[in-house]
Amino acid sequence: MVFYKNTGNVFMDEPRTEMDPELACLVHAFGNQFHKSVRAYHEAGHAVVACFSENVELVDVSIDADEKGVGRTNVKLYQLEPGIASSPLTPSQRRDIEDSIKSLLGGQVAERHFQGPEYTIQCDMGWGDDNQRIAEYLKCIGVEQLPKLKAKTERDIEANWGFVEAVARALFEKTRLSGAEVEGIYKELTRSA
């Protein structure tokens, strides 16, 4: 785990700076519970964006740390075929790729929203895996599409923040949810609204 003030990466437009001692003390005091919360919001962001996508199927989501120490959202994303980056895309392929990118961005966007603009704790391996996949998709549609897709993902997360929080709370309690359980959370929220 890496503790930085104003941590960013190539896709989030903010420079990485030195470790913040105040944040390190806070995280040391609350340790794994805070990191587990960050992981829950990150994975919930992936799950919520996937739920609203026509072209991404949410299978399950978990905050149980894998071999890299990060959670996992199991979604069926668009599978890039060899040579597709050099071929013209159909409108359907473009939508599938854009939905896949937004689903991958959902974790970072929700994590940053949860932590606020002042501080960010980021698991480099988790964001790195997401960013690597995003980069592959961007080869097909052009890197200039990223700001538009990021802005759309930010609006979707903001508009559905109550859903993100509910999924994150459920993940914090159960550590794993099926896609059907996540959809059930949404149905419950819309019934009580």
Convert the pLDDT of each residue in 1-40 to its tens digit. 333 333 333 333 343 334 445 544 444 444 567 677 888 9
Q: For residue 84, what pLDDT is reported?
A: 80
| Contact (CB, 8 A) for 179 and 57 | yes
Over residues 165-174, the mean pLDDT reads 93
- For the stretch 33-91, pLDDT in tens is 767 788 899 999 999 999 999 888 988 999 886 666 667 788 888 888 877 877 889 99
Phi, psi at 3, each rounded to 5° = -110, 115
Domain ranges of the chain: 2-174
Q: For residue 1, what pLDDT is reported?
A: 32
Q: Which pair of tokens denotes residue 108?
A: 């970072």
Mention the CATH class of domain 2-174. mainly alpha
**What strand order describes the sheet that includes 176-178?**
72-76, 57-62, 176-178
Over residues 98-103, the mean pLDDT reads 95
Q: Residues near 120 by Cβ (< 8 Å), separated by ≥ 6?
A: 4, 6, 7, 8, 111, 112
